Amino acid sequence: MFAGAIVEAKIAYQSLFFLTYMNLFKGEIALTNNIVWHETTIKKEERQERNGHKSAILWFTGLSGAGKSTLANALEQQLFQQGKTSYVLDGDNVRHGLNKGLGFSDEDRKENIRRIGEVAKLFVDAGTIVCTAFISPFKEDRNRVRELVEEGEFIEVYVRCSLEACEQRDPKGLYKKARSGEIPEFTGISSPYEEPNAAEIIVDSDKQTVEESVQAILDYLKDNNII
């Protein structure tokens, strides 16, 4: 009987430890109460003034193979040539470092976007136009990133493309693997993609050229006095 109580206590302790760890992992519990926010001497507005443009998050979202990374890089090339301070955060690249330990379960996908949202906010604070290329399938996660910055600083770019067109492109061979069951929880096949309700910009990558799509984004940035 005593041994049974020890086993039950051990299981309870392990469960509590696991839940605490998961909450820490998701950022729901502070590691310590002795952390304070330090305001920087140089303000965001000063950085924007020196750069000659406002800072913003251009959040490229869409199915795998829709062309998010292609458009983000093509746009940044144009911004760079115009002397704008910009950077691209790519979904695949980030998983080689910052998010290396995350998988593709719903929880890991949410944590992936939460981390990137915080990083993107730092770029905005630094006066930079940051282009993020992530499938980011869940509306709730995208909206949480939007809430991190001021109004007008989060620009959702929906790279719309039919599933059929994405499968035909399949540049990484991922759809083929997903169809054969090699990749579980693949967005568009075995995991949902929640389309944006009111994206600031929509480009149809299966109908528009890269140049046309980039120009549409540049026009938006100019019309809204970001560049």
Compute CA 90 distance to the chain's CA centroid, rounded to the nearest angstrom: 8
Q: What is d(CA 131, CA 84) in angstroms, rounded to the nearest whole number?
A: 13
Q: What is d(CA 97, CA 189) in angstroms, rounded to the nearest whole number?
A: 27
In eight-state DSSP terms, residue 226 is -
Residue 180 annotated as lining a ligand binding site? no
Residue 69 annotated as lining a ligand binding site? yes
Residue 15 annotated as lining a ligand binding site? no
In the annotation, is 136 catalytic?
A: yes
Pairing mode, if any, of strands 86-90 and 201-204? Answer: unpaired
> One of 55, 86, 136, 191 is an active-site residue; which one?
136
In eight-state DSSP terms, residue 159 is E
Q: How many CB atoms lie within 10 A of CB 77?
A: 13
Strand partners, 88: 131
Residues 61/156, Cβ–Cβ less than 8 Å: yes
Residue 67 annotated as lining a ligand binding site? yes
Residue 86 annotated as lining a ligand binding site? no
Residue 68 annotated as lining a ligand binding site? yes
Q: What is d(CA 142, CA 115) in angstroms, rounded to the nearest whole number?
A: 12
Residue 64 annotated as lining a ligand binding site? yes
Q: Give the residue numbers annotated as catalytic, written as ranges.
A: 136
Residues marked as binding? Answer: 62-69
Residues flagged as binding site for ATP: 62-69
